[in-house]
Amino acid sequence: MNKVMQESETDQARIDAEAADWLVRHGDGSLTQEELSAFDAWAASDPRRSRTFAAMSRTWRDAADLKHLAHLGEAEPSGRASQALRAITSRLAMPRSIALAAAAVAVLAVVGSLVSVFLEGHETGVGETRVLSLSDGSTVVLGAKSRVVVKFTDRERLVRLTAGEALFDVRHNPARPFVVDAGDTVIRDVGTRFDVNRAGASVRVAVLEGEVEVRERRAPTAHLIKAAQLLRAGDALEAVEGQAEDSLVHPGSFIVRPVEPVAVTAWRDGRLVYENARLADVVADVNRYYAPGVTLDSTSADLRVTASFRTNEIPAFLNTLDSALPVKLQRGDSGHFDVSRR
């Protein structure tokens, strides 16, 4: 083998390891915007990188059919995925397709084992809802235009709500806690049924049965920094993560108030119910059910709304906003609304 070929294969082995590391970090859904930009720069700098990442991504999606190749990779529960993959992809004599299959198995092995780890994403479109039956007996009703990533291990059941709303009915297991990660807000089940709505700059949690603990952190990768807020049946919490400059609510604030369970679950029957809700949160919800969409200027974000309307009545509701709030409306030919402060 000449020197050029050796250098090419060494470069490819390094690219394989880097691509595998990016694959794991993409898979857990926790990349920051800065990290996503770094990934884009990495992939754009060499066509082999983008090709390798695409090939590994396809293999990852097909990993459920590759369990018979598990003997090609050794589980390393305490190691990094890139370490396992370097061991595999360094076998340069191994056919490329087999190496990629083994790489996918190794990725699964690092986060646990093929039996004890379950990682899957689910999402819905505008106006669509879906019921998910989880492997532990819990259920999740996923609201319109929402997305969750489910990661179950032997020690923890983690669901990341990356967008939208979900209603959780949890089968309690103190030895294997159920945690919902909603950005800066983390909810831990204490045996309950609860709803989580991640709408723009706020996260809203409402408890229908049992109890949950809610904690706050400053960034998705930061440690939890606030003592747990315990919520019981009939409690609702609003965690404000950001707001307009003239807002009276500080980031990280927990606002707790009573809530009627029927109002919490009304969205399942096609009705949206709000009591003293931020206009920004109402608009975020509306955009999950109304395809033409609504644009809201930042100065109107913290205006408060009390309303109840069906999802097929959204245009009629929007047309009444300027009579109840200091806003002006502009409706385009497509049905899109622009809402601004007057």
Least confident of 151-155, 214-218, 333-337: 214-218
Contact 202, 283 (CB under 8 A): no
Q: Quick check: 110 pLDDT over 50?
A: no
Both 282 and 329 in a single domain? yes
Residue 7: the pLDDT is: 54
Written as one letter, the residue type at 264 is: V
Q: Determine the Cα–Cα distance for residues 58 and 80; give it in Å rounded to an integer.
A: 21
Both 232 and 292 in a single domain? no
The pLDDT of 117-142, averaged and rounded, is 88
Residue 50: the pLDDT is: 82
The range of the structural domain enclosing residue 275 comes to: 270-341
- pTM for this model (two decimals): 0.65
239, β-bridge pairs? 203, 254
Q: What is the pLDDT of residues 216-268, one digit of tens each?
A: 765 444 444 456 789 999 999 998 764 433 333 344 468 899 999 999 999 99
Both 283 and 233 in a single domain? no
Q: Determine the Cα–Cα distance for residues 166 and 168; give it in Å rounded to an integer.
A: 6
DSSP string, 235-304: EEEEEE----TT-SSPTT-EEEEE--HHHHSGGGGTEEEEEEEEHHHHHHHHHHH-TT-EEE-GGGTT-E
Both 102 and 126 in a single domain? no
Both 131 and 176 in a single domain? yes
Q: What is the pLDDT of residues 32-89, one digit of tens each?
A: 777 777 888 888 888 888 888 777 766 555 544 444 444 433 344 444 444 444 544 4
Q: Determine the Cα–Cα distance for residues 222 and 199; give it in Å rounded to an integer.
A: 21
Q: Determine the Cα–Cα distance for residues 73 and 104; give it in Å rounded to an integer.
A: 9
Contact 150, 159 (CB under 8 A): yes
Both 71 and 204 in a single domain? no
Where is the domain boundary, 75, 110, 145? 110
